[in-house]
Amino acid sequence: MEFRELEVPGAWEITPKQFGDPRGVFLEWFKGGPFAEAVGHPLDLQQANASVSAAGVLRGIHFADVPPGQAKYVTCAKGAVLDVAVDIRVGSPTFGRWDSVLLDDVDRRAIYLSEGIGHAFMSLEDDSTVLYLCSTGYSPGREHGIHPLDPEVGIDWPTTGRDGRPLTPQLSDKDLAAPSLSEAAAQGLLPTLAAVQEYVASLRA
């Protein structure tokens, strides 16, 4: 299992070792020891989610108030998605920057997004199945979003799927109504880098 920190500090790409034989494939998609060594603290698993998305479905950019925020460890069990981490921490040197990882059922990578990082993904084929390990449970009053097509963020979303067919972004009504990054900042919705660092430091203590 290899960890690579992304251009958004606090987000990692995780590549597992796969063991195949005529029966199929076995892999460890999460392992507590290597995770804690790479990130600096264990994952406090409080909720596990799954979503199934048609090609073109675009979910995000989602985040939660910090503290406690919601860290996510995400993989794609079936199909393929482009998974994106966005730095929305006010005061961060990389504020507004994004990086991405292709999650699919071939390389079977995962991505970890620590507290205070925005999360979004686009499904690249029908029935793409995404699994999330979350550090906190869902709390509607603390959950927020930024429009995933905000030109200020400028995510380079795919225009064709894994089969080469054109993709048309499909967003929920909630994500369509989400503010831009600038609007979210003006409304005081975004976490500050100082608050995130203080909370993450408490997890390492």
Report the catalytic residues: 62, 132
DSSP-assigned states of every residue in 152-170 = TT-----SB-TTS-B---B
CB atoms within 10 A of CB 94: 16
49 three-class SS? strand
d(CA 70, CA 135): 6
Structure-token match 């995933």, residue found = 148
139: Cα separation from own chain's centroid:
17
CB atoms within 10 A of CB 173: 6
d(CA 177, CA 167): 21
146: Cα separation from own chain's centroid:
13
DSSP assigned state of 89: -
